[in-house]
A and B are shown apart, each in its own frame.
Chain A
């Protein structure tokens, strides 16, 4: 039963992940991303990591993808108006994929499976809220802070990039003096 579920969920996750990339319709891509996330959450549930599963749904499916849809609707992207990929984009995505592959490969090669049932403390950390929070705030405190800082930098970057900085007088001319 568990093996069958694992296969089905993995297939759903991978197929929809591929469809996210190749789909020409942005709304379809976002919906397949959603499906892929639900599949991943299902895999987490199979691993008894309920907390991770629900956090994934809450953060990504609940907020991030719905913001994607919101933006797609505001921009009103049409499939025919899509530009082909630039060479730089292809190179960057290949490099990113290679980095990810190397990371996963090194993880797999260096991984030594723990003896089954040897230590109850080695139970999946994602299963219990308390164990998970303790790990986050003690062992992994620095990475958490660094990631948080990176997110802050990214947010500031977006604000700087998207906001038009104009001279005060030219702005008042453009907007008819309401600003």
Chain B
């Protein structure tokens, strides 16, 4: 099996690896939409989607009704409906850009995954080898760079729709996403200042941040959410704004903009925007987990290497890799749950409040945080 794999040409290996990662991200994004409906129902005291069931599943005694109650089949029927529905193309739109926009929404969402590590195993020498598609030096910079291209989908969709509400949504999207990008970038700087101590090989790799959080000892094993709570808070708030989640979903804000930038979209093109939003959420949660929640380490002060010793997995890299991916995905799913929790708890901000929070609260907070930590790190690591 392993020999067959290593005999494949490298380009094919990369292609298969990329497809495998997308094959995990896409169902998570799809399942998030069902989870969103179920969680919102739970928050509002409703049962949520619990009707759809194919007839042959209804014959299975216990499992069938249970799956029906969980609403699993709604996910499939929704997906099929979106795929086979008539795809309307309104007459007044700018056709090339109208069709381009949903594609532009998907590209950054899936491209950022390539530099995000999602697990690790230990090689013969005991060094942690991260599992990721492209282990580049620029890690977080690549995530921010490609992630920032996501705004074009919203602007172009709003502009190409050639009508009032989508246009307002597009304008709001561009202003909001640019505003919060600043705070987001500034909030992670202390983490990388701390990781790249003088004398070490400088790197912005996300795997390196996780490695830093899995050192032995009290300070070595502390997750960055405890060391830098303000950074984590600013990053999380900017992440909510960057992914257009409530309370920051200004570009969509159905109460005053009908559907915002995707008012004119329907069927499959609309669902692409939808999946892109959940993919952005998934990748954003993954980056937050890596930076502040210790990546694939199960608990604070309990690194993965200890677990490998307890379970005698140190010499079976495949099992350990799967375990680390499971731990990592668990944290990501928890973080997605928090996204939904916030969405169904907090009311939406007004547009002027969004701008005020971004420029007058979050940005000064991020700058002050950076200065304080830069001074502290300079003193500690001298």
Contact = CB atoms under 8 A, between A and B. Distances in A.
A58 B159 contact: no
Given A73-B171, A74-B171, A129-B203, A54 B177 contact: no
Interface in B74-114: 97
Interface stretch (A61-69, A117-125, A157-165): A61-69
Contacts of B144: 58, 62
Contact of A57 (B146, B170, B201, B202): B146
A27 to B, nearest CB: 6
B155 A73 contact: yes
13 contacts: A27-B159, A50-B136, A55-B145, A62-B151, A63-B148, A66-B148, A66-B177, A66-B178, A69-B156, A73-B174, A129-B137, A129-B203, A133-B202
Contacts of B148: 57-58, 61-63, 66
A66 B141 contact: no
Given A58-B145, A70-B155, A63 B181 contact: yes
Interface in A35-79: 50-51, 54-55, 57-58, 61-63, 66-67, 69-70, 73-74
A61 B149 contact: yes
B167 interface: yes
The dominant DSSP class at the B interface is: helix
Nearest to A127: B137
A117 to B, nearest CB: 21
Nearest to A129: B202
A128 interface: yes
B205 to A, nearest CB: 10
B174 A70 contact: yes
B143 to A, nearest CB: 9
Interface string B149-177: 10110011011000000010011001101
Interface string A124-147: 000111100100000000000000
A2 to B, nearest CB: 14
The interface size bin for chain A is 20 to 34
B142 interface: yes
B19 interface: no
A128 B137 contact: yes
A67 B177 CA distance: 11
Contacts of A130: 201-202
Nearest to A1: B11
Nearest to B170: A73
Given A27-B159, A133-B202, A58 B137 contact: no
A34 B152 contact: yes
Contacts of A58: 141, 144-145, 148
A122 to B, nearest CB: 18
A66 B137 contact: no
Contacts of A73: 155, 158-159, 167, 170-171, 174
Nearest to B171: A73
B155 A62 contact: no
A133 B192 CA distance: 14
Nearest to B11: A1
Contacts of A55: 141, 145
A57 B145 contact: yes
B241 interface: no
Contact of B138 (A50, A62, A67): A50
Contacts of B210: none
Contacts of B178: 63, 66-67, 70
A129 B138 contact: yes
Interface string B184-204: 000000000000000001111
A47 to B, nearest CB: 14
Given A69-B159, A74-B171, A62 B202 contact: no
Given A27-B159, A70-B175, 18 more contacts: A50-B137, A50-B142, A51-B138, A51-B141, A57-B145, A57-B149, A61-B148, A61-B149, A62-B181, A70-B171, A73-B159, A73-B167, A74-B171, A127-B137, A128-B202, A129-B203, A130-B201, A130-B202
A73 B136 CA distance: 36
B333 to A, nearest CB: 28
A62 B145 contact: yes
Contacts of A69: 152, 155-156, 159, 174
A57 B155 CA distance: 17
Interface string A4-29: 00000000000000000000000100
Contacts of B181: 62-63
Among B138, B148, B177, max chain A CB count under 10 A is at: B138
Contacts of B202: 128-130, 133
Nearest to A63: B178
B97 to A, nearest CB: 8
